[in-house]
Amino acid sequence: RRKGLWLRLRKILLCVLGLYVAIPFLVKLCPGIQAKLIFLNFVRIPYFIDLKKPQDQGLNHTCNYYLQPEEDVTIGVWHTVPAVWWRNAQGKDQMWYEDTLASNHPIVLYLHGNAGTRGGDHRVELYKVLSSLGYHVVTFDYRGWGDSAGTPSEQGMTYDALHVFDWIKARSGDNPVYIWGHSLGTGVATNLVRRLCERETPPDALILESPFTNIREEAKSHPFSVIYRYFPGFDWFFLDPITSSGIKFANDENVKHISCSLLILHAEDDPVVPFQLGRKLYNIAAPSRSFRDFKVQFIPFHSDLGYRHKYIYKSPELPRILREFLGKSEQERHH
């Protein structure tokens, strides 16, 4: 009996080892697998929510729009007005919401990370915090996420963000517009802001929450890759297919071409994007000539607080941090 058990165990071990060795080859042969793992746009959590009804998520002062960045691409957008207008907003239509962008309140364009939708729990909680601080929050699902039609790509995501930014600017008058990216959304945010600075229409500030330096370094540090980190040819098997799929999200390159105030927020106990990548990005940005006339700030959150990858919104310090940082970026804007 013991011999039979040993044979079964050996069989299982060989299967596991076979799989372990086969996966890198599979990824190398089908780079699309890596792209899917980076975007995770097919993972819809929470699954049963109706994105047409933000009120189901407790957002009773939010309107759902659909915009069309290009032919065959439709993106779902949520616009939450400042909490002080909660009562006014009841029963209002899209025109009313669009008109409010011109009234005297700053606007945050929020670019979410991979997986899930604009209705993800931690995202909704952040919209509520920002709304209570007097900001409009405009957020959307990139093509291929949520109920947005199209196929995901880095270029497509950046183009969608540019389209929504221009849509806001066409309605916002002189109100400040801030761009907030989280996790993978920081890659979209720096792509977008670099492009805006190059065409000389920068946003009023850029906020990066839990950012990385570039997608290769992030993939190397991701908990998924732990078991392969010392596999011979790791870069060739796992990182080159990402690059060959046209996915770079080069925050470290982009920050050298960005001229607006920059705030980086990162929790020391972040298990998804290591804290040191956010710190490294700050160390690249801070001395960069493009930020000569602008404030660059890095705010760490101690691991005892337990904010990890997506709970910085819980910080009671956040309102003060934003007030001080954005207040200063306003002064810079008027000088």
Strands 136-140 and 73-80, sheet pairing:
antiparallel
The CA distance from 184 to 218, in Å, is 10
107: nearest Cα among 79, 127, 136: 136
244 is catalytic: no
Whose CA is closest to 188, among 117, 247, 121, 130?
Answer: 247
Separation of alpha carbons 67 and 236, rounded Å: 39
Question: Per the residue annotation, which of 160, 245, 309, 329 is the catalytic one?
Answer: 309
Active-site annotation holds for 183: yes
Task: Please pick, among 141, 160, 204, 270, the residue that the annotation labels catalytic.
Answer: 270
Distance (Å, rounded) from C-alpha 152 to C-alpha 32? 11
**Long-range contacts formed by 63-68: CB under 8 A, 24+ apart:** 63/92, 63/93, 63/94, 63/97, 65/94, 65/97, 67/140, 67/163, 67/164, 67/167
Choose the catalytic residue: 131, 148, 172, 183: 183
The helix or strand, by DSSP H or E, that contains position 54, with its residue range, turns out to be none
Strands in 177-182's sheet, in edge-to-edge order, are 62-70, 73-80, 136-140, 107-111, 177-182, 205-209, 261-267, 296-301
Whole-number Å distance between alpha carbons of 31 and 259: 34
Measured between alpha carbons, how far is 148 from 157 in angstroms, rounded to an integer?
11
Distance of CA 252 to the CA centre of its chain: 16
Catalytic residue set = 183, 270, 309
